[in-house]
Chain A
């Protein structure tokens, strides 16, 4: 079984600041992948970044990067130079065999 925990229900920062969203997970799979998805008010689920668990190097995607600590089963998302358009729900997810399991989400608000 897989579980994902996001301990921050809501966060708020000023535009241009850096913000880190926390995520811990548990899985019995030996091979798995980790994802961060963004859900803006439109409700469309948008992939932000993905990390292969077998890779030690942290994934980066422009202003988005992750801090993957495999032993601690931690997968945090860092957003640098935050923008108003980053305002959304952010979901952490772990994928084992076929299934993608989500956390409860963190509502991030970027203030002007």
Chain B
């Protein structure tokens, strides 16, 4: 069966510090990968998605970036965090190949607090 893991689960970082959140998927190949952010009390905002190694699409201009160095690894980064980057970050995956209707499955999420 497929599983998705992301870490760290919680993170407290000072303003201006770098960020690296990692996500890996097991039990499948060539997945679509996603990073979502959920601000407190709000819905999920799609940040990045990837259909393959090195292929990243950005949905929201910001100081965050994403990379996919391996097929099942997705990394969310920032060189300098802002207070507004605080939130709950969710990595997700779906089966690749069919363009529509692939259910997206989520990881456990990472709480980021920028202080």
Contact = CB atoms under 8 A, between A and B. Distances in A.
Interface of A: 29, 31-33, 35, 43-45, 47, 50, 52, 91, 95-105
A11 B101 CA distance: 29
A98 B57 CA distance: 10
Q: Is the interface of B mostly helix, strand, loop or mixed?
A: strand
Contact of A104 (B43, B59, B104): B43
A43 B92 CA distance: 14
Interface residues of B, number: 24
B35 interface: no
A98 B90 contact: no
Interface of B: 32, 34, 42-46, 49, 51, 57, 59, 88, 90, 92, 99-106, 108-109
16 contacts: A29-B100, A31-B100, A33-B101, A35-B104, A43-B108, A52-B101, A96-B100, A97-B100, A98-B51, A99-B46, A99-B49, A100-B104, A102-B43, A102-B44, A102-B45, A105-B43
A95 B95 CA distance: 13
A103 B42 CA distance: 9
Contacts of B57: 98
Nearest to A104: B43
Contacts of A103: 43
Nearest to A101: B46
Contact of B99 (A50, A98, A100): A98
A44 B34 CA distance: 15
A16 to B, nearest CB: 28
Contacts of A45: 44, 90, 92, 106, 109
Given A103-B43, A104-B43, A105-B43, A97 B108 contact: no
B34 A100 contact: yes
A101 B100 CA distance: 13
Nearest to A47: B103
